[in-house]
């Protein structure tokens, strides 16, 4: 950590400037001295280095509820799910009374890393971009999140153990990947916030 001499920061609550001494940086926070404010401004920030993503064994997977031996791994970033071989997650053409309810490119699940919490976020949207026209196309029979039918263009978070329904007949359970605490700690970055320019 850089050692700061006396410097100024802007209070996150009242916007006025506060003088910060080196010992405040050691404490990690400073209380605003302006009348009526008193906000405790953090002087360090902590997040997880994204290089942690290079060494992970998994980014979570989907389990077919009707037959849990069917598991579909997810990747970081965009996962188009459907039965077309062009999808990142290719599911079987599950058939019910002679009909398949899953579209070729049915829905899109974004796997995002939150560097502040060290957790993954799984954001679901019905439909996918068409590879030829590059236009976004909705599925024929809709996408459900825990039984709720997603509306056009609506994005919602699928949480661990949440249920993803494709076309109303086939349901998949999300098994989110949780990075082990010990590994997270070894990628934690803590650094002092940037002070304002000294006058």
Closer to Zn ion by Cβ: residue 34 or 137: 34
Q: Which of residues 122-181 bind Zn ion (CB under 5 A)?
A: none
How many residues does this entry show for the chain? 199
Torsion angles phi and psi, residue 190, rounded to 5: -125, 125
Closer to Zn ion by Cβ: residue 11 or 158: 11
Q: Please select the residue that binds Zn ion; options are 10, 17, 28, 34, rule is CB under 5 A.
A: 34
Nearest 5 degrees, angle CA 79-CA 82-CA 83? 135
Report the distance separating Cα 75 and Cα 18, nearest Å: 45
Show Cβ contacts of residue 35 under 8 Å, excluding neighbours closer than 6 positions: none
We find the least distance from the C-beta atom of residue 36 to Zn ion, in angstroms, to be 8
Q: Which of residues 3-32 bind Zn ion (CB under 5 A)?
A: 11, 13-14, 32
Is residue 81 within 8 A of residue 109, CB to CB? The reply is yes
Of 136, 81, 125, the residue nearest 104 (C-alpha): 81
Closer to Zn ion by Cβ: residue 20 or 124: 20
Torsion angles phi and psi, residue 162, rounded to 5: -70, 160
Closer to Zn ion by Cβ: residue 10 or 84: 10
Question: Residue 193, interface with Zn ion (CB under 5 A)?
Answer: no
By rule CB under 5 A, what count of residues binds Zn ion?
7
Q: Which of residues 36-75 bind Zn ion (CB under 5 A)?
A: 37, 39
Contact set with Zn ion (CB under 5 A): 11, 13-14, 32, 34, 37, 39
């Amino acid at each position: 950590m850089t050692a700061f001499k006396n410097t100024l920061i802007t209070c996150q609550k009242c916007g006025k400037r506060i003088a910060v001494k080196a010992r405040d940086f050691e404490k990690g926070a400073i209380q605003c001295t302006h009348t009526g404010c008193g906000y405790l401004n953090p002087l360090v920030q902590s997040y997880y280095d994204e290089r942690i993503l290079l060494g992970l064994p998994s980014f979570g997977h989907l389990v077919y509820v009707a037959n849990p031996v069917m598991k579909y791994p997810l990747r970081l970033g965009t996962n188009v799910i459907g039965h077309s071989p062009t999808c990142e997650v290719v599911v079987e053409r599950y058939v019910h009374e002679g009909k398949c309810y899953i579209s070729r490119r049915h829905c899109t699940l974004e796997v995002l890393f939150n560097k502040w919490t060290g957790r993954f976020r799984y954001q679901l949207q019905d439909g996918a971009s068409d590879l030829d026209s590059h236009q976004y196309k909705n599925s024929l029979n809709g996408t459900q999140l825990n039984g709720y039918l997603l509306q056009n263009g609506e994005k919602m978070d699928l949480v661990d153990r949440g249920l993803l329904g494709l076309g109303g007949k086939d349901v998949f359970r999300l098994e989110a990947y949780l990075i082990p605490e010990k590994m997270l700690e070894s990628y934690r970055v803590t650094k002092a916030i940037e002070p304002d320019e000294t006058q």
